[in-house]
Amino acid sequence: MGTMFARGLKRKSAEDGEDVEGGLAGAQAMPSYSLQRQSLLDMSLVKLQLCHMLVEPNLCRSVLIANTVRQIQEEMAQDGTWRVVAPQAAGRAPLDRLVSTDILCRSVREQEGERPAPDAGDGHTPDLVPGLATVPSAQALRNPQSSLWEVDSSRENRGGFQKSLDQIFETLENKTSGSVEELFADVDSSYYDLDAVLTGMVGSTQSGHGSGLQAFSPATAAPPSSSCRSDLGELDHAVEILVET
Amino acid sequence: MSACSGRADIISTVEFNHTGELLATGDKGGRVVIFQREQESKNQVHRRGEYNVYSTFQSHEPEFDYLKSLEIEEKINKIRWLPQQNAAYFLLSTNDKTVKLWKVSERDKRPEGYNLKDEEGRLRDPATITTLRVPVLRPMDLMVEATPRRVFANAHTYHINSISVNSDYETYMSADDLRINLWNFEITNQSFNIVDIKPANMEELTEVITAAEFHPHHCNSFVYSSSKGTIRLCDMRASALCDRHSKFFEEPEDPSNRSFFSEIISSISDVKFSHSGRYIMTRDYLTVKVWDLNMENRPIETYQVHDYLRSKLCSLYENDCIFDKFECVWNGSDSVIMTGSYNNFFRMFDRNTKRDVTLEASRENSKPRAILKPRKVCVGGKRRKDEISVDSLDFSKKILHTAWHPSENIIAVAATNNLYIFQDKVN
């Protein structure tokens, strides 16, 4: 698990872990926090998209999730400057603050490390191109971690999660107007940037009005240009289906 | 006491009327079921008045909003009773979009002996009528009928989360995520907007209204809570649009507890005035807080409902439980407060003795007239025999809705699709 973290975040661990003596612990702790935070961000983005169901989405829930996304993104933006100045200090402070989620987020990471992808026979997914922290979350999307669901409704959730993922791709085409899209119009540029970086699905083409879901829509229009795309495995497969239809 | 199982029967609101004689429940299927307390008979003194079904009716039906291509759920979000002014009972019930005023009345007599129609209701040929008679009222089996008297529609763009009857008994308010409207009971085609927090640019929306209630005695005064953990007290005399509050209640954040979930768990799911009107109680995800209306900067009391969930927030965020909206209630004398939790647990806090108890609403543990056994959640270390560990809690069994009789120690607890009524022995 430690090595997975080190490899997964080349940006931080390769530089920091080797340079600073005694910083190894800090380096291992810091990537862990970043992955946790990334996982939380990805989870939140998925939750927002799952809002497009038959019934009007719960606005309170959407607002709270959107605020969480904003918080994470703000912190990530700040980390960009902190990292250069004092990586160790920056590593410890955020980890302390995330103490309440640490246990559970760590179990997410453990799950993903242990569980092989169903279709990726050689288990190559952990050996991702560094920087694409989204792939573990793609795993999360494809393999609803049963042990994370503490509730009895987990049975329903497992099936429902897979189904919901299909719904996301379905609803990409059906752009329902309504308050939810309006709501997320301004975070969309952030979504867009994040998604552009992380998934490589969105190429350099700009989406028309920058609504959250439409950030994905260029995937249907233009062939993905990033070379990272070939590493995405299953998510790649799903995108191909979209492009062809 | 329980309803039959099925998703449409999930109870979504519970409310005693002002005397406690009636108890109304609303469910996900749009139905309202009213229970009435038996008259206590002198022959059976030990058998305190039990609640039996009095009336059942379909309040709301599912609708389809063609403009937005979205379904409008028939689920009853809230029921509020009007004080009784004549023989009939009146209540307000609401789904996400429409509030309805229902009249529930008894009929135990029916007129017989009409001149122009026969007993089956068929018209009689006037030529055959040779004498006139006065119809008389004859007893019949008691029938309880519910009729919709008013329908207050098309005033809410967003989902209604609260309704509250004013102490003037002439007006009431309905609150959705972004607006609060004031209605007169007699007028259905217009309402008066008194709070509007919708930003000009929806992209700037960061806060919604989560609950609202009128002051129990001052008809000009009401509170509303927000998803950011704040409460605003407004005075309708100050201005027509109450966007500026008279009082703003917010507790400063504890920096040592800060996480990405801090805001979500601070979101207030329910706000209730005390019967005295001097305090308000708020429920957020982990606590219940009591506020003195004269002190805005922090609550006077904070009660931990299930603090052991604090280390599970990530998981609860993932399975959406963190968005569960628990309600809270005062007892008649404002000395005890009650709220629900998971695993069919509900908690009571005595404000005077500072004692608290956890009880469970489940069929296995509740035989009629048995005393409820206090439950305990083990938070770590050795688990005692009767305790339940946090990891064994069933998060699908949540008690969101409870009600307390206005003057006696009788409580109603809704556990998914079952209703439990307990006569509480707390002094």
The residue among B28, B314, B322 with the most chain A CBs within 10 A of its CB, best to mutate, is: B314
In this structure, are residues B185 and B195 in contact, taking their beta carbons and an 8 Å threshold? no
Q: Is B184 helix (H, G, I), strand (E, B) or coil?
A: strand
* B115 vs A: CB within 8 A: no
Q: Give me chain A's average pLDDT, please.
A: 48
B136-152 and B301-304 strand pairing: unpaired
| Residue B321 C-alpha, separation from nearest chain A C-alpha, in angstroms | 9
For residue B114, pLDDT over 70 is answered with yes
C-beta atoms of B261 and A59 within 8 A? no
Least confident of A97-106, B5-14, B353-362, B383-392: A97-106
Considering CB atoms only, which of B204, B310, B320 is closest to A100?
B310
Beta-sheet strands, E only, within B326-400: 328-330, 336-340, 345-350, 356-360, 377-378, 388-389
pLDDT for A52: 60
Per-residue pLDDT band at B423 (split at 50, 70, 90): confident
For the ranges A140-149, B119-128, B220-229, the one whose mean pLDDT is highest: B220-229
For residue B83, pLDDT over 60 is answered with yes
Least confident of A174-183, B77-86, B176-185: A174-183
Full DSSP string of B379-420: -SSPPPTT-EEGGG--TTSB--EEEE-SSSSEEEEEETTEEE
pLDDT for B251: 96
Average pLDDT, integer, range B353-361: 95
Average pLDDT, integer, range A92-117: 38
| Residue B302 C-alpha, separation from nearest chain A C-alpha, in angstroms | 20
* B308 vs A: CB within 8 A: no
Q: Is the dihedral of CA B253, B257, B258, B264 positive or negative?
A: negative
Whole-number Å distance between alpha carbons of B70 and A55: 5
For residue A100, pLDDT over 50 is answered with no
pLDDT for A53: 61
Whole-number Å distance between alpha carbons of B288 and B305: 7
Chain segment B84-98, per-residue pLDDT in tens: 999 999 999 999 999
- Left if phi > 0, otherwise alpha if psi is -120 to 50, otherwise beta: which for B369? left
Whole-number Å distance between alpha carbons of B25 and B351: 28
B350 Cα distance to chain centroid: 21
pLDDT for B402: 98
Whole-number Å distance between alpha carbons of B259 and A68: 10
pLDDT for B364: 74
Q: How many other C-beta atoms are found inside a 10 Å radius of the C-beta of residue B44?
A: 9
pLDDT for A162: 37
Residue entry with tokens 């509900």: B346
Pick the closest to residue B307 from B254, B371, B384, B231 (CA basis).
B254
Residue entry with tokens 């404002």: B334
Chain segment B269-312, per-residue pLDDT in tens: 999 999 999 999 999 999 999 999 999 999 999 999 999 999 99
pLDDT for B362: 87
Burial of A32 (0-12, 13-18, 19+ CB in 10 A): buried
- Left if phi > 0, otherwise alpha if psi is -120 to 50, otherwise beta: which for B353? alpha
Chain segment A5-49, per-residue pLDDT in tens: 333 333 444 344 344 444 444 444 445 888 889 999 999 999 988
Residues of A in contact with B177 (CB under 8 A): 59-60
For residue B161, pLDDT over 80 is answered with yes
Q: What is the DSSP letter of A13?
A: I
Per-residue pLDDT band at A143 (split at 50, 70, 90): very low
Whole-number Å distance between alpha carbons of A170 and A186: 23
Least confident of B190-204, B227-241, B372-386: B372-386
Phi and psi for B140 in degrees, rounded to 5?
A: -140, 175
Chain A residue with Cα closest to B262 = A68
Q: Is A100 helix (H, G, I), strand (E, B) or coil?
A: helix
Chain segment B46-74, per-residue pLDDT in tens: 556 789 999 999 999 999 988 888 889 99
Considering CB atoms only, which of B73, B201, B391 is closest to A55?
B73
Per-residue pLDDT band at B366 (split at 50, 70, 90): low
Q: What is the ipTM of this complex?
A: 0.91
Whole-number Å distance between alpha carbons of B274 and B232: 16
Least confident of A64-68, A225-229, B31-35, B108-112: A225-229
Chain segment A146-189, per-residue pLDDT in tens: 222 222 333 333 333 333 333 433 343 343 333 344 444 444 34
| Residue B203 C-alpha, separation from nearest chain A C-alpha, in angstroms | 5
The structure tokens listed for B188 are: 């259905």
Report all structural domains of chain B as residue ranges with CATH numbers, in order of start.
Answer: 62-88+151-421 (2.130.10.10)
How does A109-122 read in b/e, with b if 16+ C-beta sit within 10 Å?
bebbbeebbeeeee
* B260 vs A: CB within 8 A: yes
Whole-number Å distance between alpha carbons of A113 and B152: 55
Whole-number Å distance between alpha carbons of A90 and B252: 25
Of A53 and B299, more confident: B299
Considering CB atoms only, which of B227, B315, B391 is closest to A148?
B315
Residues of B in contact with A58 (CB under 8 A): 159, 323
C-beta atoms of B202 and A97 within 8 A? no
C-beta atoms of B205 and A183 within 8 A? yes
pLDDT for B210: 98
